[in-house]
Amino acid sequence: MYKAPGRINIIGEHTDYNDGYVLPFAIDKYIYLDIKKSDTYLFHSKNSNQEISLKNLMKTDTWADYIIGVILELEKRAGKIPPFKFYIDSDLPIGAGLSSSAALEIAAAYALNDILDLNLSLKDLALIGWKAENNFVGLNCGIMDQFTIALAKINHALFIDTYTQKHELIPLDLKDYNFYIIDSGIKHKLGNSEYNTRRNQCKKALNKLNKNSFREVAYEDLKNLNGLLFNRVKHILDENKRVLKTIEALKNNNIELIGNYLFESHKSLKELYEVSCEEIDFIVDFLKDKVLGARIVGGGFGGSVLVLSKSNEFEMLINELKFKYKNKYNIDLSYFKVKTSNGVEYFEEDMNI
Ligand code: GLA
């Protein structure tokens, strides 16, 4: 079968659809996918024991749409794709800002490319997943998630310049520190519409500045903006700088600096880009002065917090945080220590389908 990892972005949030920089890596939690030729299309989720059977491809408003979107995009590149049964399993939390949807897209694209010998490159598959999300699912996302899931390597972060689509593997050695993910338990309900709204606001700012790309926008242009558009563009400019500074810090083994950038990024996402939420802010506020760094990750409006901390320090404070969070929001926080992973791959096991 095939497995496609989730991803975490160290820094560079909401920059990937604004011609900016991102620095994600793949994690060792996966969407698993097995496929078999069939007379009709069948989508089976082992987690939810849900099965969707279709004679013709159409929108289902379920998780199957991520695969259907990929099939339709592949057909544009490679002609008719015959029907298959798709079996899905997962140990990747869904809706937690870890990109389970892009993992599903890339798993499907990779599996079909492999079985049908389509000879598409990993970058092609990433772009097919990205188009499926934009054209069929309806989230006008950037290229970060699909690129990471297709191209990441274990023990590395992937620096992507989303303007040129150039990417570079950056060794990820955190010395005495580790990354943790805390899942707030808040699913991003408003996420998709607010995400597309942010995107439109950024386009509007570009028009106002009379520029074709954010690559042409500099700090001095901020004087021509005010209010909300000023805030959005300031976030993008600052966040791009933080990505470059984080890479520099990683190269110089200066992990302490990265912590500051994470807190700064959170503040900016909360105040300037306005994609955080009360529960996530509660977690980050609690962690201030207790860990090296923390921030919301992913699209926002819920999801997860990325924490950079020493293991013993983190283990000492997580119980207190869980207790306080439960008291306030009546939600049990879950968390895990993050490990890096390779991007999508085939592995010698099957699901007995
Ligand atoms: C979602 C999108 C990504 C990216 C992030 C925010 O995860 O799928 O393309 O825009 O939000 O950085």
Residues 141, 134: Cα–Cα separation, whole Å: 6
- 221 and 306 inside one domain: yes
- 198 and 313 inside one domain: yes
pTM above 0.85, yes or no: yes
- 196 and 114 inside one domain: no
Tokens, residue 47: 């987690």
Query: What are the DSSP calls for 261-291, one per residue?
Result: HHHHHHHHHHHTS----HHHHHHHHHHTTTS
114 located within any domain: yes
30 located within any domain: yes
> What tens digit of pLDDT does each residue of 106-132 get?
999 999 999 999 999 999 999 999 999
> What tens digit of pLDDT does each residue of 191-220 get?
678 988 999 999 999 999 999 999 999 999
- 16 and 150 inside one domain: yes
- 54 and 78 inside one domain: yes
Going from the Cα of 178 to the center of ligand 1, the distance in angstroms, rounded, reads 23
> What tens digit of pLDDT does each residue of 234-278 get?
999 999 999 999 999 999 999 999 999 999 999 999 999 999 999
352 located within any domain: no
Q: Is 298 in the pocket of ligand 1 (CB under 6 A)?
A: yes
353 located within any domain: no
CB 249 within 8 A of CB 255: yes
Tokens, residue 176: 């005495």
Tokens, residue 26: 């793949």
- 160 and 26 inside one domain: yes
116 located within any domain: yes
- 155 and 202 inside one domain: no
Q: Identify the CATH number of the domain in which residue 25 sits.
A: 3.30.230.10
Supply angle C-alpha 24, 136, 194, rounded to 5: 60
Tokens, residue 334: 């879950």
- 79 and 198 inside one domain: no
351 located within any domain: no
CA proximity to 38, closest of 22, 26, 54: 54
**Residue whose CA is closest, atom 8 of ligand 1?**
141
The pLDDT value recorded for residue 208 is 98
Within 8 A by CB and 6+ apart from 243, the residues are 11, 12, 15, 20, 21, 22, 23, 159
Q: How many domains does the chain have?
A: 2
Structural domain including 297 reads 177-336
Tokens, residue 2: 């095939």
CB 344 within 8 A of CB 110: yes
Among 144, 147, 214, 235, the mutation site with the greatest number of ligand 1 atoms within 8 A of its Cβ is 144
- 280 and 152 inside one domain: no
Active site residue 238: no
- 117 and 22 inside one domain: yes
83 located within any domain: yes
90 located within any domain: yes
Which one of the listed residues 16, 19, 145, 221 is annotated catalytic? 145
Q: Identify the CATH number of the domain in which residue 256 sits.
A: 3.30.70.890
- Give the SS3 label for residue 243: helix
- 146 and 275 inside one domain: no
- 240 and 307 inside one domain: yes
The amino acid occupying position 132 is A
Tokens, residue 328: 């306030």
**Residue whose CA is closest, atom 2 of ligand 1?**
141
Residues 279, 217: Cα–Cα separation, whole Å: 33
Q: Is 188 in the pocket of ligand 1 (CB under 6 A)?
A: no
